[in-house]
Amino acid sequence: MSILIHRDATFIVQGITGREAVNLTRECLDYGSKIVGGVTPGRAGRDVYGVPVHDCVRDITAKTHVDGSVVTVPPRFTRDAVFEAIEAGVKLLVIVTERIPRGEVAQMVELARLRGARIIGPNCLGILSPEEAKMGGLGGPAVNVRRAFRKGPIGVMSRSGGMTTEICNTLSAAGLGQSTAVSIGGDAIIGSSYAELMPLFEADPETKAIVIYSEPGGRMEAELADWVRENRSRLPIVAFMAGRFMDEMPGMRFGHAGTIVEGKADTTADKIERMKAAGISVAERIEDIPALVKERL
């Protein structure tokens, strides 16, 4: 099994006629994903690689069951697009767009909570379940995805889209395939944190271990440490922590919007300490991850 998506999951692409969206649509279709429609206001009647374009999300949901939506519209239109999808009954939103003010992200998250929908991102590359489906740009063209990702027992969550692929590639080369890889997004406020996705992996019998990529800034790693302790998780977790040099450079932003050291709790040193205390293994190098996982499988 996988989490969030599966081979029969249907989704739409909002902003489908944009340059990056066109690429992403083609990549997902090539990988076998079921894209049942696209939305770009005013462009109804066109198609993108055979996917019909509509003006409104409801034009699609009225006729077809839609499990999710990939939202890749400019920042100032993103909140509206996400609200539209949620109000049309879509339950899984992957928000690719970056540079959305966090007040607007919080509004989307709050509405999603009210309507029982889940948000992945913003500022993410999406979700990929090897041999099942790909929802978003994660891994790139299907041919590249097949090189880096393999089916298997590891759940992957990463604050960096590019590092999701790097880590999955390392795992695959060591014979450790992935159940689902989730690029959770690099912003200070995101729809689904590690701890919020853990119950899904926990409930997936195929997943046997978790690998996460983390960075300075925010409380997400502390939240995961608390979750692991409070829920007596069956899943061993291996974490990689990037940006250790940032501990010495408070107030400077590197990498992603959410990556900044403002207080002690933002430092990698503090996060590593908390995670280790909760029984999470912390890898010093990416190539050390497979051995640490195998030790605990």
Partner 1 sequence: MRFYEYEAKALFARHGAPLLRGRLAHTAAEAKTIAAEIGGAVVLKSQVLTGGRMKAGGVKFADTPEQAETAATAILELEINGQKPRGVLVEQRAGVAQEYFAAVTWDGRRKLPVLVFSDMGGIDIEEVAETHPEHVAQVHLSTLVPFSPFKAKEAVAAVGVTGDDLTRLTPIVASLVEVFLRYDLTLAEINPLGKTTDGRFLVLDGHVDLEAEARDKHAKLLTELGIGKEETRQARPPTRFEIRGAEVDASDHRGVAGNVVEFDGDLGLVIGAGGGSLTLFDAIRKHGGRPANYCEIGGNPSVKKACELTKLILSKPGVKKIAVMMNVVSNTRVDIVARGVIKGCVESGRDPADTIAIFRIPGAWEDDGFKILGKYRVEYCDRTVSMFEAARRAVAKMQAA
Interacting residues toward partner 1 by CB under 8 A: 23, 75-76, 99-103, 105-107, 109-111, 114, 137-141, 144-145, 147-148, 158-163, 165-166, 169-170, 173, 186, 188-189, 193, 213, 215, 218-220, 223, 240, 242-246, 249-257, 259, 263, 285-287
Between 60 and 241, CB nearer to partner 1: 241
Q: Which is nearer to partner 1, 75 or 279 (CB)?
A: 75
Upstream peptide bond of 122 is cis (omega within 30 degrees of 0): yes
Token pair, residue 60, equals 């699609």
CB of 189 to partner 1, least distance (A): 5
Closest CA to 133 of 180, 97, 91: 180
- Which residues, including other chains, have CB under 8 Å from residue 181's CB and lie 6 or more apart? 127, 128, 129, 138, 149, 155, 156, 157, 158, 164, 168
Residue 133 Cβ vs partner 1, minimum distance, rounded to whole Å = 16
What is the C-alpha to C-alpha distance for residues 45 and 292, in angstroms, rounded to an integer? 52
> Closer CB to partner 1, residue 208 or residue 256?
256
Active site residue 256: yes
Instruction: Give me the least distance between CB of 65 and partner 1, in Å please.
Output: 27
136 or 236: CB nearest partner 1: 136
- Supply the DSSP string of 63-106, one letter for each residue: TS---EEEE---HHHHHHHHHHHHHTT--EEEE------HHHHH
Q: Minimum distance from CB of 72 to partner 1 (Å)? A: 13
Name residue, tokens 């790139």. 140
Q: Is 254 exposed, middle or buried (0-12, 13-18, 19+ CB in 10 A)?
A: middle
What is residue 258's three-state secondary structure? Answer: coil
Neighbour count for residue 34 (Cβ, 10 Å): 18
Minimum CB separation of residue 55 from partner 1 in Å reads: 26
Between 130 and 186, CB nearer to partner 1: 186
Give the closest residue to 133 by CA, choosing from 48, 206, 29, 25: 29
Contact predicate 253/134, CB 8 Å:
no
Q: Please state the closest distance from residue 118 (CB atom) to partner 1, in A.
A: 13
Active-site entry in 6, 54, 65, 256: 256
In the bound state with partner 1, the residue whose beta carbon lies nearer, of 65 and 76, is: 76
Contact 257, 97 (CB under 8 A): no
Give the span between the Cα atoms of 234 and 226, in whole angstroms. 14
Q: What is the radius of gyration, based on Cα positions, of the chain?
A: 18
- Residue numbers annotated as active site: 256
